Amino acid sequence: MVDPDILLISFVDTIEGVKSLIGERGAGAVLREAGRHSGPKLLESLIGQLPEVLDTDRALERTLSILRELGFAEELTKNGKEIIVKNDVFTEAIRGEVNTSSPVVLFLAGLIEGFVQFMSGERVSLKATEARKGFLRYTLC
């Protein structure tokens, strides 16, 4: 069996490779969309169809809880229109600098957006307003 940490590092290195091929903005756009697409697929494989459609706020709360339980970050909290992510696996695995336009930051935003859309049927959009290793702040737009 493959070590999950090795898979994560490989994934982050793949993201960095995409960034070097098509630039940070292009990689960010592609990876955000990949997150939006993979979020629902992951949830569907984990829990199947939800018995009910949740309102957007409840879907967001449940999303943060699920991502925490799956080990994507030690802490994911919502405070008003802000989402704080602490000790996430993606920024911790990056060898270089992390900023708000880093593709891994946008991938996680897309993953959250995809989870929420899967559970609520509503599309939400997150804007990264602060990013560094182990800390992300997103604002709901």
Rounded CA-CA distance 9/129 in Å is 24
Domains of the chain (ranges; CATH) run 4-140 (3.30.1380.20)
* Euclidean distance between CA atoms 59 and 139, whole angstroms: 16
pLDDT per residue over 94-118, tens digit each? Answer: 888 899 999 999 999 999 999 999 9
The structure's pTM equals 0.90
Q: What is the predicted pLDDT for the residue at 78? A: 96
d(CA 23, CA 17): 9
| 91 residue type, one letter | T
Q: Residue 23 CA to chain centroid, in angstroms?
A: 20
> How far is the C-alpha of 31 from the C-alpha of 88, rounded, in Å?
17
Distance CA 72, CA 77 (A): 13
For 32-75, the pLDDT digits (tens) are 999 999 988 888 888 777 678 899 999 999 999 999 999 999 99
What integer pLDDT is reported at residue 36 of this predicted model? Answer: 96
